[in-house]
Amino acid sequence: MNLEWLKTGMGPLKDLLSFLNSEGKTTDVLKKQVIRELRNNLNIFHNAYLNKVSPDIMIELLSNEAIRKAIEENFKFRKLKPGRIEPYHIRDDRNKKYIGWEADKLIDKIDEKIEELKLIKKMNGGSVATVKNNISLMLSNLYYRMKLLADFIKGPK
C-alpha cells in the first residue's frame, strides 16, 4: 500500500508526538490513557511510513481500548480540550468539514473507523489485501482525524 499521503505530514507529526507525550503527564488516568493511545496510534502511522509496513499490520496495531474504557467510565472527552474545532485548528484542507465539532464527536469517529478497519480485516480472513474497500483511503481518513484531534488539543486555549 502506498503511504505517500503521509509524507507531507512527517515534520508536524513529530512535533505533535512530542506535545502529546508532555500532555499525557496528568493525574487524570482516563485522560492520560486516551492521550497516550492517540500518541501511540499516530506513532504507528509514522513508523509504518518509514518502514513500509503492510496495512494488515497497521490495523492490527491500532488501538481503541482506552477510548472504549473511557466510554465505559463515562469520561467527558471535553476534558481533552473544551470547545469546538475552529478554522485555526485546521492544518489540512480535508479536515475543514470538522469545523464546529467537539472532541467527543471526533473521538467517536476515530473509534468507529478503527473498529471498522479491524472488522473488515477479520471478515476477510485476517487480511485486507483483497478487500473491495479502499483501505488506503480509510487509513488516510483515520490518520487525518487523529492528527486533527492532536492539533485541536494542542491549539490555542
pLDDT value of position 25: 67
Tens digits of per-residue pLDDT, 125-157?
999 999 999 999 999 999 999 999 999 998 875
> How many C-beta atoms surround the C-beta of residue 142 within 10 A?
22
Neighbour count for residue 75 (Cβ, 10 Å) = 21
Q: CA–CA distance from 27 to each of 30, 32, 91, 107, 128 (Å)?
A: 9, 7, 29, 21, 39
Cα(37)–Cα(32) distance, rounded to whole angstroms? Answer: 9
pTM above 0.95, yes or no: no
Instruction: Tell me how many degrees the CA angle 1-140-88 measures, rounded to the nearest 5.
Output: 150
Return d(Cα 17, Cα 42) in angstroms, integer: 7
Which residues have a Cβ under 8 Å from the Cβ of 27 and sit 6 or more positions away? none
Q: Which three cell numbers stand for residue 15?
A: 512535533
- Quick check: 24 pLDDT over 70? no
Q: Is the pLDDT of residue 22 over 70?
A: no
* 97-129: pLDDT as tens digits: 999 999 999 999 999 999 999 999 999 999 999
48-76 pLDDT, tens digit per residue, is: 988 999 999 999 999 999 999 999 999 99
Domain residues of the chain, as ranges?
Answer: 4-154
Q: C-alpha cell of 65?
A: 481500548
Per residue in 7-21, pLDDT tens? 555 556 667 777 677
